[in-house]
Amino acid sequence: MAQIDFGGTVEEVVTSEEFTLEKAREVLKGETIAVLGYGVQGPGQALNLRDNGFDVIVGQRQGGSSWDRAVADGFVPGKTLFDIEEAARRGTVVEFLLSDAGQVAMWPKVRACLNEGDALYFSHGFGVVFRDQTDIVPPENVDVILVAPKGSGRSLRTNFLAGSGINASFAVHQDFTGRAKDRTLAIGVAIGSGYLFKTTFKNEVHSDLTGERGVLMGCLAGVMEAQYNLLRKHGHTPSEAFNETAEELTQSLIRLVADNGMDWMFFSCSATAQRGALDWAPKFRKAVEPVFDELYEAVISGAETRRVIEVNSAPDYREKLQVELDEIKNSEMWKTGAAVRALRPENRNR
């Protein structure tokens, strides 16, 4: 592990130069990796593992769109594609990548399929940390490990194909075999992580639930809508409001932040923009701090977990979700966004 100074705090990280793909293949030699669930994280991890030469099978409920997607991606029913329980029985590393609500529903059946010495793998600490709500208590005779890519499964796959990776956290919750850490790092490298940083199941789920409800998704969506609506209220056209709210952010400014940090983004903008951003950033920070305090408390108390399990376990969850997503898609702001994206040069020339 490399010792890296992160703003004055030294942490240990693992890169693919230190823990090579060849070493990962040696660690996982003779292992069958069963990816349970082919929805969000499953496809990216399964395809990257397969492309890197690992023995991977997929477990998915037969007859649905995810089963059909796995078939379209080259997984063969009866050979590399099975129902969830059969895949769990065949796997020695069992990647439990169903949705959080799906994990709750399927856990008793999956648990019964685990064999002594297997590795039970998660990409989210949700089920294990909030076991009082999920009843997910792993048996004592298996390794319990985690690799959590810091991005969507779709991004994990596209970055892999582009020759880069997404950073991931890793954790060992239970080391039955004495090989749990090596198995964890091997899987992390095998799925194409940019680098791996150490965490715990508890810290992963607390930070992840906060991040996706906060800056990464919920806060971002809410703040963008507020600014767009403000500009429209004051007579700005949809195109102007959208460009000043979303298009410039995604097509220019956030790329500068990604390249070299927030100060570089400020430095690369006009003096007027710099002054305004530096003056107003503390006001926004102060305004949202109480909301983030409320959010973090809801996460660590288990309130957010209860909400997810209750809503996502409903039989009509997907239908209701689609209604909510369509409401966003069909709003003026995001209809404008579709029109703006169509005008990008790369899209006009198709």
Catalytic positions, written as ranges: 124
Given a contact cutoff of 8 angstroms between Cβ atoms, the answer to whether 25 and 8 are in contact is: no
Number of alpha carbons in the 13 Å side-chain half-sphere of residue 184: 32
- How far is Cα 253 from Cα 281, in angstroms, rounded to an integer? 15
Residue 35: in which H helix or E strand, if any? strand 33-36
Given a contact cutoff of 8 angstroms between Cβ atoms, the answer to whether 192 and 48 are in contact is: yes
What residue has token string 């940090």? Answer: 261
- Report residue 199 as tokens: 């965490």
Q: Which residues pair with 197 in a beta bridge?
A: 13, 169
- How far is Cα 25 from Cα 55, in angstroms, rounded to an integer? 10
Is residue 329 classed as helix, strand or coil in its secondary structure? helix
- Report residue 65 as tokens: 């769109």
Which segments within 85-155 are labelled E, that is strand?
93-96, 119-122, 143-149
